[in-house]
Every structure is written in structure tokens, then in C-alpha cells.
Amino acid sequence: MAKERSRKALVELLQRPGNAACADCAAPDPDWASHSLGIFICLNCSGIHRNIPQVSKVKSVRLDDWDDAQVEFMASNGNNVAKAKYESKMPPFYYKPTFLDCQLLREQWIRAKYERKEFIHSEKQEPYSAGYREGFLWKRGRDNGQFLSRKFVLSEREGALKYFNKNDAKEPKAIMKIEHLNATFQPAKIGNPHGLQITYLKDNSTRNIFVYHEDGKEIVDWFNAIRAARFHYLQVAFPGASNADLVPKLSRNYLKEGYMEKTGPKQTEGFKKRWFTMDDRRLMYFKDPLDAFARGEVFIGSKENSYKVLEGLPPSTQGNHWQHGITIVTPDRKFLFACETEDDQLEWITTFQKVISRPMLPQEYAVEAHFKHKP
């Protein structure tokens, strides 16, 4: 009876504001709890909490036994109370992961909050909020695919992230302006759970570099340092903008990636299989997912500017091995693609439609004007 009473009380607590989603990743219907922190969490996050037993003690809401004191503690705390405490000094630029993000981001977020208490003691935020960071990362070689240790320096004052091929090199191998910098975790693509893809513009073309660090905290600190630098850059560039306007612009996850076939501008050449990345309004294609430079880039504007996406290919099309076609119409020309499966085709069409249905921003017209369609 006592067991049943405890379970009923906990299930009722889940209905309270803030408790209906995981305290750490916002996954719906959390079924687990940390009875030492007083929070309700999802199965995935409960696994991370188990790895920090000195801070968090985990139980299943429905399957484990609870004593009255533990239930009482959950009742007097809960997700909203814990958030007010453990996230009280979280900087606006710090990336708050969701259940859609990779394991590394979720783990470091949980450790930062409860184990290191970074958002209670703001001096612990120094590694990513100081405006300057330097250190070594493993970087993938452009031509041979080997990862080699390279020195990286991020300086808000200089407005750039730089890396050096030799420790004592005076000149950097690359200077990446904070204005055009993006970083996104890509563990599956890079083949490392800590893999980070950094992109920047070089001569108005996108350049990729792939890095990792063995220490999860280090690479996530680099990621948040890049976001902090972008935040401070944008605050100066757009002085009237609110945090809510700026934060979505700090870093971008790609809208979609995957293989499609494409043909050339004459549409008489054979179709070739390429890796495609939809990054905001840039559709880029690569021979290999880990190439440094795109083979070509297509700007995708809005329907008001005569861009549209059509299911299928023109009747005269030949040479595609894959049968599920997509046609993108731009003011200049048509681009023809083919997908391996109907599901792929539907996902790409949905992604393109989302981009096309969004009105263009003033700065996007400038991007469109400078855009180079490479053959």
C-alpha cells in the first residue's frame, strides 16, 4: 500500500508545471528522477546522471521503491525549482541541448550544471567567456584524412579563430572571421564522439574543418567559446537586437544532410552521387562528406523571389540511377536531384519547402547577389 501511495504521489508530481518534460533535455514524459537533486528526467539523461553518483542518485518513478522522505523531497523541489538554482547564472550564449542533440553535449551540460556548478559560480565560466582561448585540437588533414595536433587561438579582440600548422609558426595557416564562423557537432560523420565541424567563408565559398579533443569538456568549451565570440560580435553589429534575436544566430545545426544524385547545368550529363548539406539557405554538395570545400553551392531563396521545389524530374530526364526525383527552380535555372528512397525524397522536399516558405532577410539578398554557382 505504501509503495502504491508513493508511486501515485510521484505520478501526480509529474503533472506539475515544469515536471512534464525532462529537466535536462526537455524530452516529453520523463519516467525517471534524481531523488538527490529533486528533478524528473528521461531515460537517456538518467544514464548520464548514474555516471555522477556523488551528485545524483537516480530511481525509476514507476518501477523502484520510494520512501516518504524521498517523495517529500521531490514534492518540495521539482524541475522549476532546480532550474532556478542550477541555471541561475547561465550566460545567454551557452548552448542548452535538447533530446535531439548528441550524447556529448547532453553529458557536458548535465556535468556543468550539477557537478561543476558552472551556472551558480560565474567564475567557473572563464574557459568559454573570457574572450580569448588557445589550445590544441586534433584536426583532420585536408588531403590525407589523418588527424594531427594543431594549435588554435580564438580572439574576440582580433575577431578571428586561427590555427597554426607548427607550434612555433609566426603566421597562421588559416584565419576564420568570427562574423562567418559556424560550429556544429558531427560525431557520426567525423567518426568520433567528440567530433566538431567548423565552417567559415573563404572567398565567399564555404570551407570545412573537422576537429576533436579527447576531453569532452574541452571540446564543448571550445564550442561555447565560439558561440560567446559570435554573441559579442553580433551585439556590436546589431546594437538594438535582443538576446532572443541573437541567440539563434550563434551556431547552426544543418537542416539536412545526405546523399542525392545530381546532374550538371545542361542536364544532359550523367547523374553523379554527391553528399549534400543544407545550411540555412546554402545547399552545398561534396564528393565526400569530409571534403574541405564544396564542389558547388546553390542559393535557395523564397517563393516571393521565384524559387520553388517540385516533386519529380522533367519527362525528358535521363541518366539518373535513383528514381525519386526533385526539381528546384531558381530565377536562373533548374537544378535536378534524385533520391534513393521515397522517404529521402519526402524529407528533402519538406526541408526545401521550409526554406522557400521563409521570407528573405535584407542581408540574404546580399548573399544571393554575391553567390557563385560553381559548375
Domain count, the chain: 3
CA dist 364 and 373 (Å) reads: 16
Structure confidence at residue 361 (pLDDT): 83
pLDDT at 210: 98
Q: Which CATH number belongs to the domain containing residue 169 in this structure?
A: 2.30.29.30
**Cell reading at 200:** 567559415
- pLDDT tens across 329-363, in order? 999 889 999 999 999 999 999 999 999 999 988 87
Task: Determine the average pLDDT of the residues in 68-79.
Answer: 96
Which of 196, 228, 247 corresponds to the end of one domain? Answer: 247
Which pLDDT tens digit goes with each residue over 274-294?
Answer: 999 999 999 999 999 999 999
What is the spatial order of strands in the sheet that 308-311 belongs to?
A: 296-299, 282-286, 272-279, 256-262, 334-339, 324-329, 308-311
Task: Say which residues have a Cβ less than 8 Å from residue 271's Cβ, sequence separation at least 6.
Answer: 261, 262, 263, 319, 320, 321, 322, 336, 338
Residue 168 in this model has a pLDDT that exceeds 90: no
Contacts of 302 (CB under 8 A, 6+ apart): 355, 356, 357, 358, 359, 360
> Residue 254 has what pLDDT?
95
The whole-model pTM stands at 0.92
What confidence category does residue 272 fall into, taking pLDDT thresholds of 50, 70 and 90? very high
**pLDDT tens readout for residues 95-117:** 999 999 999 999 999 999 999 99
Distances in whole angstroms, Cα of residue 320 to Cα of each of 162, 260, 325, 344: 42, 10, 9, 15
Specify the pLDDT at position 215. Answer: 98
Percent of the chain with pLDDT over 70: 98
Grid coordinates standing for 309?
521545389
CATH code (residue 54) = 1.10.220.150
Sign of the dihedral through C-alpha 175, 244, 257, 263: negative
**Chain segment 169-226, per-residue pLDDT in tens:** 889 999 999 999 999 999 999 999 999 999 998 887 889 999 999 999 999 999 999 9
**3 and 118 co-located in one domain:** yes
pLDDT per position as a tens digit, 12-37: 999 999 999 999 999 999 999 999 99
pLDDT-derived band at 69 (thresholds 50, 70, 90) equals very high
What are 227-250's pLDDT values in tens digits? 999 999 999 999 999 999 999 999
pLDDT tens, 212-225? Answer: 999 999 999 999 99
Residue 330 corresponds to which cell in the numbers above? 531558381
Q: At 369, is the pLDDT very low, low, confident or very high (cuts 50, 70, 90)?
A: confident
User: Could you write out the three-class secondary structure of 189-201?
Assistant: HHCCCCCEEEEEE
Residue 285, number of CB atoms within 10 A of its CB: 22
Same domain, yes or no: 9 and 113:
yes
pLDDT of residue 373: 47
Please state, in angstroms and as integers, the Cα–Cα distance from residue 332 to each residue in 60, 64, 176, 227, 370, following that order.
58, 63, 31, 35, 14
Q: Which of 99, 122, 145 delimits the end of a domain?
A: 122
Same domain, 85 and 113: yes
Say if residue 263 is in the same domain as residue 352: yes
Does residue 332 contact residue 269 with C-beta atoms inside 8 Å? Answer: no
pLDDT tens-digit map of 118-156: 999 999 999 999 999 999 999 999 888 899 999 999 999
- Domain enclosing residue 108, as ranges: 1-122
* 2 & 111 share domain: yes
Decide: residue 80, CB within 10 A, 0-12 exposed, 13-18 middle, 19+ buried: middle
Q: What is the pLDDT of residues 304-338, one digit of tens each?
A: 999 999 999 999 888 889 999 999 999 988 999 99
Q: Could you tell me if 26 and 60 lie in one domain?
A: yes
pLDDT (0 to 100) of residue 79: 98
